[in-house]
């Protein structure tokens, strides 16, 4: 099945700095990837759809200038949290646009803590 | 539009007793439905999925779910809970372009 690698698994950064999270599709050429965010004790919410070679599409209420998405190749999408603030602390998880019998379409997630 | 409602935020069962996690969905067309499990500080693991084939779907670790169109439900069950089943469970419906819409999650606690 599709294998997705997400890096880093955990990151702590200072308020005001930027953090880049990588999502790699290891065995599938993903024209589409998705980014989700999970706040503590809440469910996962879709943030944006990452489209290879074109602009990402953002869900309502998600600031595109704050959460920069780049999908320059069929195997890599990056999410950059710019000028991070403590309220951006969350669990970010990516998914490739492929459903298969194994269902391993999600990355393992990145726990971001902004201090 | 697609949405999912998980009716219980917390469920507590004793080890060896049955598990029932409830999920109702709303979809403008025939949906694909999934149950995922998330252990603490871990990613998501697929338990099972329904994609318009058999309405009773068997998944991993003894879990199964039944798609009931008339009730718009997709409840997750397991005959006998194990301590390792303690985790958070998400009911998910897929929408256009493989977007996933997650329920609010149900935390399963298994007592010895």
Q: Rounded to whole angstroms, how far apart are CA atoms A99 and B94?
A: 10
- Per-residue model confidence (pLDDT) at position A40: 75
* Closest CA of chain B from A26, distance in Å: 17
- Per-residue model confidence (pLDDT) at position B53: 74
Say if residues B31 and B93 touch (Cβ distance below 8 Å).
yes
- CB spacing of B99 vs A103 below 8 angstroms: no
B4-43 pLDDT, tens digit per residue, is 999 999 999 999 999 999 999 988 777 889 999 988 767 7
- Per-residue model confidence (pLDDT) at position A44: 84
Top residue of A43, A54, A56, A59 to mutate, by most chain B CBs within 10 Å, is: A43
Which residues in chain A are closer than 8 Å to B32, comparing Cβ atoms?
A: 99
Which residues in chain B are closer than 8 Å to A104, comparing Cβ atoms?
A: 45-46
Say if residues A58 and A47 touch (Cβ distance below 8 Å).
yes
Q: What is the DSSP string of chain B?
A: --EEEES-SEEEEETTS-EEE-EEEE-SSPPEEEEEEE-TT--EEEEEEESSS-SEEE-GGG-EEEEETTTTEEEEEESS--GGG-EEEEEEEE-GGG-EEE---EEEEEE-
- Per-residue model confidence (pLDDT) at position B54: 83
Distances in Å between the alpha carbon of B19 and those of A77, B41, B60? 38, 23, 14
Say if residues A71 and A56 touch (Cβ distance below 8 Å).
yes
- Per-residue model confidence (pLDDT) at position B17: 98
- Per-residue model confidence (pLDDT) at position B32: 86
Say if residues A91 and A113 touch (Cβ distance below 8 Å).
no
Query: Which candidate from B43, B94, B103 shows the least CB-CB separation from A109?
Result: B43
Query: Which candidate from B41, B42, B99 shows the least CB-CB separation from A34?
Result: B99
* Closest CA of chain B from A82, distance in Å: 24
Query: Which candidate from A49, A93, A99 shows the least CB-CB separation from B43?
Result: A93
Chain A: residue whose CA lies nearest to B104: A43
- Per-residue model confidence (pLDDT) at position B98: 66
Quick one: tokens of A67? Answer: 């959460």
More confident residue, B108 or A99: B108
- Per-residue model confidence (pLDDT) at position B59: 92
B43-101 pLDDT, tens digit per residue, is 788 899 888 778 899 999 999 999 999 999 999 999 999 999 999 999 998 877 667 78
- Per-residue model confidence (pLDDT) at position A104: 45
pLDDT in tens, chain A (115 residues): 567 889 999 999 999 999 999 999 888 788 889 999 988 777 888 899 998 888 999 999 999 999 999 998 889 999 999 999 999 999 999 988 665 555 447 888 899 999 9
Number of cross-chain residue pairs from A and B with Cβ atoms under 8 Å apart: 54
């Amino acid at each position: 099945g599709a294998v997705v690698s997400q890096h880093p698994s955990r990151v702590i950064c200072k308020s005001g700095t930027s953090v880049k999270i990588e999502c790699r599709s290891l065995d599938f050429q993903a024209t589409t990837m998705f980014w989700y965010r999970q706040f503590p004790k809440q469910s996962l919410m879709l943030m944006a759809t990452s489209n290879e070679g074109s602009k990402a599409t953002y869900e309502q209420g998600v600031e595109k200038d704050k959460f920069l998405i780049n999908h320059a190749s069929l195997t890599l999408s990056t999410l950059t949290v710019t000028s991070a603030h403590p309220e951006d602390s969350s669990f970010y998880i990516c998914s490739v646009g492929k459903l298969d019998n194994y269902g391993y379409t999600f990355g393992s997630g990145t726990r971001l803590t902004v201090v | 539009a697609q949405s999912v409602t998980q009716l219980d935020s917390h469920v507590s069962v004793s080890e060896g007793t049955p598990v029932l996690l409830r999920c109702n969905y709303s979809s403008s067309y025939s949906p694909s439905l999934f149950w995922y499990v998330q252990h603490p500080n871990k990613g998501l693991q697929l338990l099972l999925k329904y994609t318009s084939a058999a309405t009773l779907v068997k998944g991993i670790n003894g879990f199964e779910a039944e798609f009931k169109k008339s009730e718009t439900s997709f409840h997750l069950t397991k005959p006998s809970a194990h301590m390792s089943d303690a985790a958070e469970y998400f009911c998910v419906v897929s929408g256009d372009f493989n977007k996933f819409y997650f329920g609010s999650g149900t935390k399963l606690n298994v007592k010895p």
